[in-house]
Structure 1
Amino acid sequence: MAAVALVVLPAAPAQADGPNVVVRWNQALLTAVRTGTLGPPLVARALAIVHTCAYDAWAAYDAVAVGTRLGGTLRRPAAERTEANKSEAISYAAHLAASDLYPTQRTGFDALMAELGHDPAAPSSQAARTGLAACQAVLDHRRTDGSNQLGGYADTTGYAPVNAPVVVAGPLTTLNAPGRWAPLTYVNQAGAVVTPPFLAPHWGRVASFSGAARSIADAVPAPYAYGSAGFRTQAAEIVSGTAALTDRQKVIAEYWADGPSSETPPGHWCLFAQQVSARDRHGLDQDVKLFFALANSVMDAGIASWEVKRDHDSARPITAIRHLYQGQRIATWGGRTVDGERWVPYQVPTFPTPPFAEYVSGHSTFSAAAAEVLKRFTGADSFGGQTVVARGSSLVEPGVTPASDVTLQWATFSAAADEAGLSRRYGGIHFRAGDLEGRTLGRAVGTAAWNRAKDYWTGRA
């Protein structure tokens, strides 16, 4: 199944000059994301930084909006507030930010600048200087935001798993703490045996855009404890559910997977925003605000969901089920029966489960936050997107699934977000509570980010 999430919206008249520079830079950044190695919360932060730099550069050419770092101190005279100056300032800002975040991808960013008629080595115009000044202030702020970007995003908390690695290809034998997260050892898409560590266990400490992501996360209730009836019930639901997967459910699991070499869940929602921009014929002023709010909402969603993940360090289904069903034969997807201690989720074998704790679902949190912003920005929870998945295109069951083409349709942004969350249960990646509590968390985080973004562009921040 294609790694890039394609979506078709109702036909609209073509934009005469193609996508504006905000969309162009979003597209360029997603290309870097797909060829890079950053995980979802790190990608969300990168998107937020680039689009915050673009917004702050644009704000200097608006009569009311204020920048996130320098307020209104960069504001240019009314005579300079032209579309051309806005576009140039945005491009210099976005280029600086993108090159800082993805330095190995700079050739692509330079190529876009050349296509737009700008030379990043010669920022001689006032618009260029304004964009660079706005962006540098954002980059300086983010140098000390808790992400440890300058240290390669390495953990700063001293986290160590309580469980030894579990070899996916072999049977589970013992776990020190069956309710806690365990690393997995498997063969990745490059053919190498890997045991990925917990991705960015310090991420809950990153400074959020709204300033409220951590406090919202800390109000999330605890997951079911190991040994409880709820813990056993949620595992049984995954076992029975994955054993009875329909073609449509399998397609949903794979379409939303957004694993390695994809734009990841935060980028997936940027693709949807690009389509909304085209559908609603957005101008530059609209898109700079839309992507600013959207990107910061998914950054905060990553911070909040990782805070919860670290708080509870909860077991993934692959280890919980193997432990609970040791010595039993159980039905599973593909019409097979397997030893319980060898159960695997409906995922590609080269990425059987993402390397971080189960509770809460990042997919659910990212998607609910993004949907909240999109429906608030557009003024309605109306999407109308769809994608067609070709028969036999599965990467889990290639040539077999689906048996015929499957069309996924989402009337609303909320429906798309709910399906993204549900997909992780179909895929055997998350339990029900991890999905549902993630959706609730995402809506709260998205609302807080939206309110903060709106305060900036209305000059109230």
Structure 2
Amino acid sequence: MTTFGDSSVSGFSPRRRSLLLGGIGGAATAALGALGHSGTAAADESGRSAAESVADFDLDTGNFIRDVISRFQPSHPLYEDIAAPMDVTIVQRYIHLSMVSWFDALAPYHPTAVGVYSRLGRRPSSESATNRNKNIAALHANYHVTKAMEPAWEPLFRELLTAVGLDPDDMSEDRTSPVGIGNLAGKAVAAATERDGMNQLGDEGRRYHRQPYADYTGYRPVNTAYELTHPSRWQPKLGSHQRRLGPGRGDKGIFTVQQFVTPQMRLTRAHTFDGPGRFGLAPPTHTDHTRRRAYRHAVDEVLDASATLTDERKLKNEFFDNKLLGVGLAGQVAADARGLDLDGWVHMLFAMSVSIYDALIAVWHYKAKYDSVRPFSAIRHVYGDRPVTAWGGPGVGTVDDLPADEWTSYLNVADHPEYPSASASICSAEAQAARRFFDDDTLDWTQPIPAGSSLVEPGATPGRDLSFHWATWTDFVHDCATSRLWGGVHFAKTSERSVPFGEQFGDLAYEYMRRHVDGDVGD
């Protein structure tokens, strides 16, 4: 782990409130833009539509991430029909490939940088005198990633390009023009990753009726949703048709059984290592049911967290559960606060994105290997139908007569085994990448949370306006990891172990970014 000295910029604060729009129930536009750039005309603070708000974007002096993408937010029904904010592998893959396309599109305008998936030469330094060519190239590159990854979002990204005066139908491949460079960079990212192991096209093992991102590894749980035969192993949850937090769409009376989401993630190509098995992670002995005392202790820690939920903890649960908020916004807030130029934004976000993506590959390797039980199953195994003290549901508060087999976590349980924690691992990974980039641990992020903005307890929680503050990346990672315990979806020891596990990917990603920026990579 890197040792950090005193920050050279202590006391800084994020300047652009546009990066922090809305509470938990609102859209975090910068992060949502990075996910899919799927914007319908959302109004800004002046009442203008998103398209109108970027119409005056200055290609020469502006920053396409901060000034354009952050103004667009998704059409809610379309966005949620494709991916939920908790669906970390799908969400982060989209964000990651977007950011790779930005890096590769800007590389020709940098004195030494070399792209990941394309080698498009070096442009004269005079073409980098302003941000114009970089902004144009990056936006065109991302357009091609959007088309390849999720065609349903193409019309919305076309709107974005048109709003800033660009032509989405310009398919030039002229390596001397920013449009051509962007088109080539984006196409190269899309071509290199469409068969990277994630089954994006849905045709692995089948000729007809494609199923994008479906499992082709043959994973089968040892437990069913109806019977826990092996109390240490993952049990798919039987739940309502509505997977998102809070009230929303879902067929009434329809209940579904979880399937391990994208278990093939562990087989995809990483940037910084050849195989995830090289990273050691001790077995989850705390959920070994043959160690009865340790198993019960792990269960009791979850119950205690459930019984002592506060408004602050509830909202931190929701904040970090949405991967577009906690994980998605942190880097952008830091980049803006530090006053980075456009290259700095792209390079830092690229390093953080690589750290998250590669960490997820290793996390999924161990999720499949250990196939660990989730708290809801373990609680029922230990206590059966005996009463426990815990959160009694939205608006109910803590009760002392809750049958253990009716216990429910504050957060929705994700569709994959428990160990390690993906959220804790990727928060730790991106934090370490940022520490290495800035050479300090300072974050100093204040996030306002409006009263009543909870998704789980809308209108009631929090009872007053709150303000979260993370002085350091270490504070940020602590809350991210601990929120998984508070939310009832991870055991305490899982969250604790996931932090150092994730951190190593931040180091690897920073060094990977540095090699690509310095041009120290092979052909």
Common fold, TM-score beyond 0.5?
yes
- Which of 153, 168, 172 is the equivalent residue of 1:105? 153
Task: Determine the structure 1 residue equivalent to 2:63.
Answer: 20
**8 Å CA contact 1:242, 1:427 repeated in 2:** yes
Task: Determine the structure 2 residue equivalent to 1:243.
Answer: 307
**Cα 1:133–1:109, aligned 2, differ >3 Å: closer, same or farther?**
same
Give RMSD over aligned pairs: 2.4
Q: Point out where structure 1 has 5 or more consecutive residues left out of the alignment.
A: 8-15, 167-173, 259-263
Letter in 2 for 1:250: K
* CA distance in 2 between partners of 1:398 and 1:220 (Å): 39
* CA distance in 2 between partners of 1:396 and 1:371 (Å): 28
- Which of 290, 297, 304 is the equivalent residue of 1:227? 290
- Which of 238, 244, 251 is the equivalent residue of 1:185? 238
How far apart are residue 102 of structure 1 and its match? 2.1
The answer to whether structure 1 residue 369 and structure 2 residue 429 are counterparts is yes
* CA distance in 1 between partners of 2:377 and 2:189 (Å): 41
Task: Determine the structure 2 residue equivalent to 1:37.
Answer: 83
* CA distance in 2 between partners of 1:338 and 1:402 (Å): 23
1:288-437 counterparts in 2 under 5 A? 288-333=346-391, 334-336=397-399, 337-347=401-411, 352-437=412-497
**Cα 1:21–1:159, aligned 2, differ >3 Å: closer, same or farther?**
same
* CA distance in 2 between partners of 1:4 and 1:447 (Å): 33
Task: Name the count of aligned residue pairs.
Answer: 434
1:38-187 counterparts in 2 under 5 A? 39-71=87-119, 73-82=120-129, 83-124=131-172, 126-151=177-202, 152-166=212-226, 174-187=227-240
Deviations 1:156-207 (A, max 9, x none): 20111121125xxxxxxx4121211111222213232332311111111111
Deviations 1:242-267 (A, max 9, x none): 11223322232233221xxxxx25x6
* CA distance in 1 between partners of 2:318 and 2:353 (Å): 24
Identity score, percent: 28
How far apart are residue 365 of structure 1 and its match? 0.8
**Cα 1:303–1:4, aligned 2, differ >3 Å: closer, same or farther?**
farther
**Cα 1:48–1:392, aligned 2, differ >3 Å: closer, same or farther?**
closer
SS of the residue aligned with 1:327? coil
**Cα 1:398–1:121, aligned 2, differ >3 Å: closer, same or farther?**
closer
Task: Determine the structure 2 residue equivalent to 1:13.
Answer: none
**Cα 1:100–1:294, aligned 2, differ >3 Å: closer, same or farther?**
same
**8 Å CA contact 2:277, 2:365 repeated in 1:** no
Deviations 1:361-415 (A, max 9, x none): 1110111111112222223211111223333433334444333333221001221
Letter in 2 for 1:437: R
* CA distance in 2 between partners of 1:120 and 1:338 (Å): 57
**Cα 1:257–1:120, aligned 2, differ >3 Å: closer, same or farther?**
same
Deviations 1:61-107 (A, max 9, x none): 21211111334x52223443443222221111111112211210112
The answer to whether structure 1 residue 459 and structure 2 residue 522 are counterparts is no
**8 Å CA contact 1:234, 1:432 repeated in 2:** yes
Greater alpha carbon shift after TM alignment, 28-37 vs 83-92: 28-37
Q: Point out where structure 2 has 5 or more consecutive residues left out of the alignment.
A: 1-22, 30-56, 203-211, 243-247, 392-396
**8 Å CA contact 2:413, 2:489 repeated in 1:** yes
Task: Determine the structure 1 residue equivalent to 2:504.
Answer: 444
Task: Determine the structure 2 residue equivalent to 1:171.
Answer: none
Greater alpha carbon shift after TM alignment, 376-385 vs 438-447: 376-385
**8 Å CA contact 1:74, 1:130 repeated in 2:** no
Deviations 1:302-328 (A, max 9, x none): 212111111111111011111111031
Letter in 2 for 1:186: G
Task: Determine the structure 1 residue equivalent to 2:207.
Answer: none
**8 Å CA contact 1:213, 1:445 repeated in 2:** no
* CA distance in 2 between partners of 1:206 and 1:298 (Å): 14
Letter in 2 for 1:328: R
Letter in 1 for 2:178: A
SS of the residue aligned with 1:237? helix
How far apart are residue 340 of structure 1 and its match? 1.2
1:2-21 counterparts in 2 under 5 A? 2-4=24-26, 20-21=63-64
* CA distance in 1 between partners of 2:274 and 2:72 (Å): 27
Letter in 2 for 1:419: D
What is the TM-score with the length of structure 1 in the denominator?
0.87
The structure, 1 or 2, with the larger RCO (C-alpha pairs under 8 Å, 6+ apart) is 1
SS of the residue aligned with 2:121? coil
**Cα 1:112–1:268, aligned 2, differ >3 Å: closer, same or farther?**
farther
SS of the residue aligned with 2:201? helix
How far apart are residue 55 of structure 1 and its match? 0.8
* CA distance in 2 between partners of 1:424 and 1:339 (Å): 22
How far apart are residue 241 of structure 1 and its match? 2.2
What is the TM-score with the length of structure 2 in the denominator?
0.78
SS of the residue aligned with 2:142? helix
Greater alpha carbon shift after TM alignment, 199-208 vs 130-139: 130-139
**Cα 1:46–1:399, aligned 2, differ >3 Å: closer, same or farther?**
closer
**8 Å CA contact 1:28, 1:108 repeated in 2:** no
SS of the residue aligned with 1:447? helix
Letter in 2 for 1:190: R
Task: Determine the structure 1 residue equivalent to 2:48.
Answer: none
SS of the residue aligned with 1:165? coil
Task: Determine the structure 1 residue equivalent to 2:394.
Answer: none
* CA distance in 2 between partners of 1:223 and 1:305 (Å): 13
**8 Å CA contact 1:65, 1:459 repeated in 2:** yes
* CA distance in 1 between partners of 2:360 and 2:26 (Å): 21
